[in-house]
A = this chain, B = another copy of it.
């Protein structure tokens, strides 16, 4: 199972603008990039807060054949939203979750936030790549890319331009 963390951040490392949830600050070019990129993944994982923030958008776009897995301590609270194989909820640990997804035949997983989920998977050594959209903004505060102290070295794979101002940087996580 290959896990790729995909996120958009301000140049100074925030995935939300101040206290506003979600990534409405991100450019249209980033949203297009995300949709195209996700077509290459057969599953995605996000936290419950990210799901709540993007719920309507996610449910509008469930035609794409990808298992969306929401990590939450209380999966029972979301039982009305379950669509088996398309949208599921789990309280498993990151390692258990990925092992279960692999056993079900999934091979490429997109990790879609937020900061707590990024931390959990990074600290468990379960992230292979990081695809980061860098928007031309400074926020000074907001939700950080990673919620806790980590010490992770990366190898840069590529730097592309999504627009004149927005960069897409891809890294491999070194172990």
A residues in contact (CB < 8 Å) with B: 9-14, 17-18, 119, 122, 130, 132, 134, 136-141, 144-156, 159, 161, 164-167, 169, 171
Q: How far is the CA of A169 from the CA of B136 in the complex (A)?
A: 10
Known: A11-B171, A167-B159. A136 touches B153 (CB 8 A): yes
Oligomer: number of copies = 2
Residues of B within 8 A of A164 (CB): 155-156
A156/B150 contact (C-beta < 8 A), A171-B11, A171-B136 known: no
Closest chain-B Cβ to A91's Cβ sits at a distance in Å of 24
6 additional contacts (CB under 8 A) given A10-B13, A18-B151, A140-B150:
A11-B13, A136-B154, A136-B156, A136-B171, A138-B152, A156-B167
